[in-house]
């Protein structure tokens, strides 16, 4: 393996999205990631759907470049395997149910003296202590607890994010904290514990609305796809039925919008709309004026006029539009990866630390079990015995 994390071994007792997303990004950078799965069925995220050529869309996204080792952690023989793995590991990641690793002796308190250089990352819904520690935490539930639903949607209906935003947030903080811990270990030689919660990750992302509602102030209103406090900033429909999002950030852009886009220069100084606060307050009146002008243009004409005026804008793509996005094609951001169902496309991760980011196959359940156990010193007869007794 090559990359900044080549030579780093990550052992992960992971499931669903948050931990697998974190470890996949470590794998992208060259780390060896050994994913421990349940014998037979594997990570339950494998069965979420079958939309990626028969494979789960979530699993395809978060599990490339990993090795799959099946293990029944409750089996008598599991302890020997787990500790053989951890003895060679740099990082141990887990997002099992609260308290699960403690019950099998794999919590940080049990590991820190035996493996002083090990970095242990625990990912949970609400953290390792407090009154919510043992509550079940799914993505939508954490979106609710973190206040995200209260500011997302329309005035009449709250709306969740269209992707697993709480899981993604926790996965990103786990990933970046692990990178920081590896740098720290390089200076001190010691491992550490990282305690990432979905709730705290989402709350960090909610800091703008939190401060907006500081000290009992009213929160940002739910404004659909429009900005809650800046106007015009949101979706508008052209006469071909397609939607364009546009956004103004300052008074200079407001003047240009009036002069060059809606061709009504006098509107820039209209006392109803001369400041953003007034435009936001009187958005219904302004919306009617804008809609009347846009009714005379198709989406291509509208985007061209917005671009000419240097007004920020975007088309509202569906998933097919994203697959075919010209910017991804121009920047050659698509690769193919192998998988149990054949080759599938995959988007190169953002950034570009490497000339060629590692994008290895997505593993089948237990695909690497025999090889890993053999590497750890288990004989073939012992491996056969472990299989026969349901340990792996």
| 8 Å CB contact between 10 and 90 | yes
Contacts of 136 (CB under 8 A, 6+ apart): 125
| 8 Å CB contact between 370 and 81 | no
Distance CA 306, CA 55 (A): 41
Question: Mapping DSSP to helix (H, G, I), strand (E, B) and coil, where does residue 387 land?
Answer: helix
Residue 227 is a catalytic residue: yes
Distance CA 337, CA 347 (A): 10
Q: Which of 58, 75, 83, 227 is catalytic?
A: 227
Full DSSP string of 277-310 = HHHHHTHHHHHHHHHHHHTTS-HHHHHHHHHHTT
| 8 Å CB contact between 340 and 362 | yes
Q: DSSP label at 152?
A: S
Distance CA 357, CA 335 (A): 10
Catalytic residues: 227
């Amino acid at each position: 393996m090559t990359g900044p994390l080549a030579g780093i071994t990550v052992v992960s007792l992971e499931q669903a999205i948050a931990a697998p997303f974190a470890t996949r990004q470590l794998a992208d950078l060259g780390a060896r990631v050994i994913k421990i799965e349940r014998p037979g069925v594997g990570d339950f995220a494998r069965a979420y759907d079958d939309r990626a050529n028969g494979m789960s869309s979530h699993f395809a996204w978060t599990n490339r470049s990993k090795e799959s080792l099946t293990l029944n952690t409750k089996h008598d023989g599991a302890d020997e395997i787990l500790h053989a793995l951890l003895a060679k590991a740099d990082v141990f990641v887990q997002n099992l149910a609260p308290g699960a690793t403690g019950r099998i002796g794999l919590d940080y308190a049990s590991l820190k003296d035996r493996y002083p250089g090990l970095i242990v990352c625990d990912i949970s819904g609400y953290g390792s202590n407090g009154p919510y520690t043992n509550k079940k935490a799914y993505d939508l539930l954490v979106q609710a607890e973190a206040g995200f639903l209260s500011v997302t949607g329309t005035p009449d209906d709250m709306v969740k994010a269209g992707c697993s935003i709480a899981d993604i947030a926790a996965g990103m903080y786990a990933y970046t904290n692990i990178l920081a811990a590896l740098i720290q270990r390089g200076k001190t030689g010691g491992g550490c514990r990282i305690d990432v919660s979905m709730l705290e990750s989402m709350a960090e992302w909610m800091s703008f609305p939190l401060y907006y509602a500081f000290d009992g102030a009213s929160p940002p209103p739910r404004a659909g796809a429009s900005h809650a406090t800046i106007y015009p900033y949101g979706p508008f429909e052209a006469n071909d039925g397609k939607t364009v999002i546009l956004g103004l950030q300052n008074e200079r852009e407001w003047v240009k919008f009036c002069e060059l886009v809606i061709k009504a220069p006098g509107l820039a100084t209209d006392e109803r709309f001369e400041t953003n606060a007034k435009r936001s307050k009187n958005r219904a009146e302004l919306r009617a004026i804008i809609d009347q002008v846009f009714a005379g243009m198709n989406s291509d004409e509208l985007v061209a006029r917005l671009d000419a005026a240097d007004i920020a804008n975007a088309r509202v793509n569906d998933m097919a539009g994203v697959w075919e996005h010209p910017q991804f094609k121009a920047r050659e951001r698509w690769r193919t990866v192998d998988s149990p169902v054949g080759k599938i496309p995959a988007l190169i991760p953002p950034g570009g630390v490497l000339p060629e980011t590692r994008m290895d196959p997505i593993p089948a359940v237990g695909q690497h079990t025999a090889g890993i156990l053999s590497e750890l010193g288990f004989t073939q007869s012992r491996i056969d015995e472990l299989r026969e007794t349901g340990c792996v």
